[in-house]
Amino acid sequence: MVTLHVKDRTKQSGKLAGKLAGTQDVEEAPSRGFWLRPYALFKRVPAKIEQDDALDQLGSEASADTKAGGKPPWLLISFMLMVLVPALASFLYFVGIASDQYTAEARFAVRSLSDSGLGERVDTGLMNMQAAPQDAYVVTSFIHSAEILRRLKGEIDYRTIFTDPNADYWSRFDPKGSEEDFLKYWDQHVTSYIDGPSGIVTLTVRTFRPEDSVKLANAILQQSEKLVNEITLRARDDLLASFRNEVTRTKANYLDALNDFNGFQQKSGLLSPDVQAKQAGKLLTGLVAQKLELETRLFVLKESDGSDSPRYKQMQRAKDSLDGQIQDMQSQLVGSGNNSLVNVIAGFSKLETNRQVSEKLYEAARRNYDLAFAAVSRKALYLTVFVPPALPQDALYPKRIVSPFLILLGLLVFWATLCLIWASVEDHML
């Protein structure tokens, strides 16, 4: 088939040469004589048309042959543009342009001094606050939030640290960037990792100067410790709020009952009506005994001397006096008036009972509050830093060899994937 194609091409070239030769002969015909010029003009136009058609046909066949046997090396060009050039650019950046970044690392844990159980139980039921595993996650979430940036704003100028003009353009932060943009940049340079089984948190801070890394790491630890203390105090206040309210209420009731009791004592003029009643009872008993003795003596005297004797009359007057005293004493003890000891004792007993009940309730509420406070104190959270940030000596970032190699590998995989996709598309087009 190749031989036939070459023969056909030779024939076509020969025909074209013949046509061109014929045209030349026709064009030279007018020089042979003037009388042949019209014939030459008549023959020139068809010959010219045939010449152009032959040239177009030959050109199209030549271009088809060029496409068939001389395709541009698109595979090599795409490999250079998509793999070699970006990989070379990344290598030049990481080796010669990228600024050194120093890393300060700290390790801490969020712990609680809680007991496994309580030795004493609170009457109203104390809520059990255990140190949950999410306490460490709360701290790490706080480290990557906008709240810590707001708190650090008055402690340290973190924007100046990351907008250092001595750092390269692609590593430092744009001073005109918004707070949202800086938070994304912050997450790239401040990282935290939690070890699940142990709950240990590893904090890593990466800046352009060693002292800035240590200073920023210490500031983050201080704010995290403040957050843990706030969580502890808030939980303590929430747990103790009901107990504190109960103590306040029972204390107010006890003070009111005590004031009422003291007012009643001042109004009645009695320190203790029970003691007064006992003393009055003893006095009444003595008066009754004296009356009985006088009545006995009067009866004997009347039987012996008569009722007209002066002694009898004197003893009768003494008896009448005793009867008056006994009647008055009985009126003070069991009379119907408000000043009788019976009514005074009734009011006094009511106020005394109210005072005693209020006092017992206040003591119980106070005891419950003390027990709850002790239990919550044993369950307080603490942030324990056991590996403080140290001043770094060497720059761990950027990875000047590993990073370009990984970029090259990624670009190579991406380019190979695109080539496979394009080959699959071409196969489906056939």
Query: Can you tell me the distance from the alpha carbon of 153 to that of 97, in angstroms, rounded to the nearest whole number?
Result: 31
* pLDDT band per the 50, 70, 90 thresholds, residue 41: very low
Q: Could you tell me the CA-to-CA distances from 148 to 81, 140, 175, 213, 285 in Å, in that order?
A: 44, 11, 19, 16, 85
Query: Can you tell me the distance from the alpha carbon of 187 to that of 192, in angstroms, rounded to the nearest whole number?
Result: 9
Asked which of 55-69, 98-112, 200-214 is least confident by mean pLDDT, the reply is 55-69
pLDDT tens-place string over residues 71-85:
678 888 999 999 999
The yes-or-no verdict on residue 100 having pLDDT over 70 is yes
Cα-only R_g, the chain: 58
Write the burial class of residue 237 (CB in 10 Å: 0-12 exposed, 13-18 middle, 19+ buried).
exposed
The yes-or-no verdict on residue 46 having pLDDT over 70 is no
pLDDT tens-place string over residues 194-241:
987 788 999 999 999 999 999 999 999 999 999 999 988 888 888 888
Query: Can you tell me the distance from the alpha carbon of 378 to that of 111, in angstroms, rounded to the nearest whole number?
Result: 11
Query: Can you tell me the distance from the alpha carbon of 310 to that of 298, in angstroms, rounded to the nearest whole number?
Result: 12
Q: Whole-prediction pTM value?
A: 0.60
Query: Can you tell me the distance from the alpha carbon of 51 to that of 13, in angstroms, rounded to the nearest whole number?
Result: 12
What confidence score (pLDDT) does residue 102 get? 95
The yes-or-no verdict on residue 121 having pLDDT over 90 is no
Query: Can you tell me the distance from the alpha carbon of 218 to that of 103, in angstroms, rounded to the nearest whole number?
Result: 13
The yes-or-no verdict on residue 6 having pLDDT over 80 is no
Query: Can you tell me the distance from the alpha carbon of 175 to that of 183, in angstroms, rounded to the nearest whole number?
Result: 13
What confidence score (pLDDT) does residue 21 get? 42
The yes-or-no verdict on residue 65 having pLDDT over 50 is no
pLDDT tens-place string over residues 265-283:
777 666 666 666 666 667 7
What confidence score (pLDDT) does residue 159 get? 92
Asked which of 42-56, 220-234, 309-323, 338-352 is least confident by mean pLDDT, the reply is 42-56
What confidence score (pLDDT) does residue 273 get? 64
**Of the candidates 416, 407, 381, 394, the residue with the CA atom closest to the CA atom of residue 89:** 407
Q: Which residues of 265-279 are buried (b: 16+ CB within 10 A; e: fewer)?
A: eeebebeebeebbee
For residues 409-429, give the mean pLDDT. 91
Bigger pLDDT: 128 or 421? 421
Query: Can you tell me the distance from the alpha carbon of 126 to that of 362, in angstroms, rounded to the nearest whole number?
Result: 18
Bigger pLDDT: 196 or 64? 196
Task: Count CB-CB contacts under 10 A for residue 388.
Answer: 14
